[in-house]
Structure 1
Amino acid sequence: MSEFDVKRTRPEFFARIWRAVSKEPVLAILVVALVVLQAVHPRPWMSLPGLVDWQTVLTLAGLLILTKAIELSGFLMWAAHRLVHHIHNEHTIALLLVALAAALSTVLTNDVALFAVVPLALSLHRLAPLPIKQLVIVIALSVNAGSILTPLGNPQNLFLWQRSDVAFGAFVWALLPLCAALMVLLGVVTIAMFRAAPLDLSGDAEEHRVDRALCGVSAVAFAVFVALADAHHAGPALTAIALGFLLWRREVVFKIDWLLLLIFMLMFIVLRSAAALPSIHQAIAQLGIGTPVRAYVAGALLSQGISNVPAAIVLAEFSKDWRALAFGVSVGGFGIAIGSLANLIAVRLSGEKGMWTPFHLVSVPFWIVAMLIGWALV
């Protein structure tokens, strides 16, 4: 190949990469943000992988494989079939899924709860014409609201609980008022968004068979994987699961959302780079967040820019009021999607195009009302 051909193909190569990236708005934003951050406050490129929380990424990869295996087994369609024939309207199904997602998020974390409930919602949608975008939105809000209750519900709670030096029960009691109030608010929103109209089950005509071997192995592996990931052994557990399915049912591994893993890695790099900027630390120091209300407002607002987990870590250096910070970063999980990584997972799992606008039309007003509720309770 001539030197002229090499020079000509380089722009074409980068143009192809950009076309692929631009089809994914979140990925495009993260790439642009990374370039800007590297220009403003450069880090050695080789150091960037050190900013990734690999425990989270490995756990996410394992959950993607296992939930895909359960989906391919046909169990979710079978469960959805049983559900729609016992519950006959959109309104009740939406409330049930919201309650289920919130309950699971208190003990399995908000991310794991999404992997259990969103695929079930998608299976229900394939049986009956449910408004799936609205359903995924309220499920995302529910895992963020339900996970507020316990230290196990989300990473920021676990971090603040470990710093607070209070008992598990005391932490739950302190967060209970906010969790309860937001779940009531979410119940009102869900009732307003869904009709009590009967479901159209005309599409549920075929028999729903379950691959019992695949379903049983996946269910057991799911429980074992979550336990090992909780004990910080996600790497070996993922290796075993990936190798096992590659040898047994390779289509399970090939069909997962690999782009979601890339997006998560970039989010950690971009958000942690932004949180480490001296200007952010100086701005927070000048604000003075010594009072509970100021700590709360700082948590709720900063989460909108750098997500609630990095916000909790940054603000904990300036305030010892763990309760006010927990209130703030919990409310900060609503609003702009970046406020909580669970929002991104929910939208990606839905597989629906054009989700971001309807998501924000609900989540931003919800965040504003939640801000007022949290301010009154803090």
Structure 2
Amino acid sequence: MRSIVAFIKREAVLIVLLVALIALQALRPQSAHALIAMIDGETLLTLGGLLVLTKAIEHTGAMHWAAQRLIHRVHTERGLALVLVLFAAAISTVLTNDVALFAVIPIAISIQQLVALSLRRLVIVIAIAVNAGSILTPLGNPQNLFLWHASGVSFGGFVVTLAPLTLILIAGLVVLTCAIFHARRLDIPDGVDHVRVDRRAFAIAAVTFAAFVAIADLHHAAWGCALVLIVFGVSRWRTILEIDWLLLAVFALMFIVLRSVANLPLIHDLCAHANLDEPMRAYVAGAITSQVISNVPAAIMLESFTQRWQALAYGVSVGGFGWCIGSLANLIAMRLAPVKGLFWRFHLLSLPFFVFAAIAGAYLIHAL
């Protein structure tokens, strides 16, 4: 019984989606073929490949080595916070915001055990950092991955479009970090940076990662995913077993449930008459809807009602800030950190940052 309760708590999103699917089928039954047709196969295959690749890179120890080499050169509380925040933002551009959290927050926890540093504030700015950094590329987060495939633009074209918003938000994050952390000197023990990297495994992962991105950019996700499975099925088969397969099930269900909801007459008429082909309306819809159902579901639900993918991408990106449910990365960050009272303190920083991000995004939408 305890194991069942633990599973429900751990996989609450999956359970909610399954219940929602059952309710929708009772309300408006659809065939299995129709439900499967709602799944975006390109996005799901690309996400599967990324899960394997990120797990493989994590196993090499390269991320911990890079972060700790940087930390060894920092001498102040503010500098340490900035290093971790910028490192988190940087790796989230290629390893997704969720994976970046699994890499950086454990490092922050271990550092906090060695030096006097506010873990609560550090976790909050790291959560904001991975959401901000992940905006830049199609690989940064699931909503970008989906919108990239839906838009049909090149990898480079997507990056150029999202770069202005990313740069402004990173600049704002730097200001925020400098404001809430002091410049007092820290003494970092020399033993912090003793991490061994499996160079051969890292080289294999890096080359495979580059090939996978190139293949995915040509919109041949199935071939890219096959390449990843073959490479690591031969050299690191345990990596494939360790990835979060249920996450793929969650995203498959998101496509089915949210597209089914969007097809309900009431919801369809509401979205269809909202004139979401007007850029500012698409932007506002993405930002506000994300605050209610999170930015990945918001992108999936609204994409079919607008041709303005750029404005929608800006909206759901901004929507990742503010209320914690805006991005699943926020919830993951709070779950990973063993800190009490994090929920309300998170919102004391995240809500003002959402206002800043919303204004910046609106200005860029108007200017572009």
TM range (shorter): 0.7 to 0.9
Shift of 1:340: 5.0
Matched, 1:347 2:332: yes
Note if contact 1:63-1:115 (Cα within 8 Å) is conserved in structure 2. Answer: no
The 1-side partners of 2:183 and 2:274 are apart by 48
What code does the residue aligned with 2:343 have?
Answer: T
The 1-side partners of 2:289 and 2:26 are apart by 22
- List gaps (5 residues or longer) in structure 2: none
Note if contact 1:299-1:329 (Cα within 8 Å) is conserved in structure 2. Answer: yes
Could you say if the C-alpha distance between residues 244 and 224 of structure 1 is closer, same or farther in structure 2, counting changes exceeding 3 Å? same
1:334 aligned residue: 321
Match of 1:74 among 53, 61, 83: 61
The 1-side partners of 2:54 and 2:137 are apart by 24
The answer to which of 129-138 and 180-189 deviates more is 129-138
Matched, 1:186 2:173: yes
What code does the residue aligned with 2:254 have?
Answer: M
The 2-side partners of 1:220 and 1:73 are apart by 14
2:343 aligned residue: 357
What code does the residue aligned with 2:332 have?
Answer: V
Correspondence list, 1:141-290, <5 A: 141-146=128-133, 154-155=144-145, 158=148, 172=160, 178-199=165-186, 201-202=188-189, 204=191, 207-287=194-274
1:33 aligned residue: 20
Could you say if the C-alpha distance between residues 176 and 73 of structure 1 is closer, same or farther in structure 2, counting changes exceeding 3 Å? closer
Shift of 1:199: 4.9
RMSD: 4.3
Give the TM-score, by structure 1 length. Answer: 0.72
- List gaps (5 residues or longer) in structure 1: 1-11
2:285 aligned residue: 298
Could you say if the C-alpha distance between residues 123 and 218 of structure 1 is closer, same or farther in structure 2, counting changes exceeding 3 Å? farther
Q: Deviations over 1:124-158 (max 9, x none)?
A: 64455466675565345345445656889735764
Shift of 1:71: 2.4
The 2-side partners of 1:36 and 1:365 are apart by 37
1:50 aligned residue: 37
The 2-side partners of 1:334 and 1:291 are apart by 23
The 2-side partners of 1:94 and 1:248 are apart by 37
1:119 aligned residue: 103
Note if contact 2:259-2:300 (Cα within 8 Å) is conserved in structure 1. Answer: no
Could you say if the C-alpha distance between residues 28 and 192 of structure 1 is closer, same or farther in structure 2, counting changes exceeding 3 Å? farther
Higher alpha-carbon Rg? 1
Could you say if the C-alpha distance between residues 273 and 367 of structure 1 is closer, same or farther in structure 2, counting changes exceeding 3 Å? farther
Note if contact 2:67-2:87 (Cα within 8 Å) is conserved in structure 1. Answer: no
Could you say if the C-alpha distance between residues 319 and 231 of structure 1 is closer, same or farther in structure 2, counting changes exceeding 3 Å? closer
3-state SS of paired residue (2:191): coil
Shift of 1:72: 2.0
Note if contact 2:92-2:99 (Cα within 8 Å) is conserved in structure 1. Answer: no
Could you say if the C-alpha distance between residues 159 and 229 of structure 1 is closer, same or farther in structure 2, counting changes exceeding 3 Å? closer
Note if contact 1:90-1:197 (Cα within 8 Å) is conserved in structure 2. Answer: yes
Could you say if the C-alpha distance between residues 322 and 31 of structure 1 is closer, same or farther in structure 2, counting changes exceeding 3 Å? closer
Could you say if the C-alpha distance between residues 270 and 296 of structure 1 is closer, same or farther in structure 2, counting changes exceeding 3 Å? same
Q: Deviations over 1:242-263 (max 9, x none)?
A: 2332333333223223333332
Shift of 1:217: 1.3
The 1-side partners of 2:251 and 2:296 are apart by 13
Could you say if the C-alpha distance between residues 227 and 119 of structure 1 is closer, same or farther in structure 2, counting changes exceeding 3 Å? farther
Identical pairs, percent:
46
The 2-side partners of 1:246 and 1:327 are apart by 37
3-state SS of paired residue (2:103): helix
The 2-side partners of 1:371 and 1:206 are apart by 39
Shift of 1:118: 5.4
Could you say if the C-alpha distance between residues 275 and 230 of structure 1 is closer, same or farther in structure 2, counting changes exceeding 3 Å? same
The answer to which of 49-58 and 367-376 deviates more is 367-376
The 2-side partners of 1:41 and 1:301 are apart by 27
Note if contact 2:127-2:333 (Cα within 8 Å) is conserved in structure 1. Answer: no
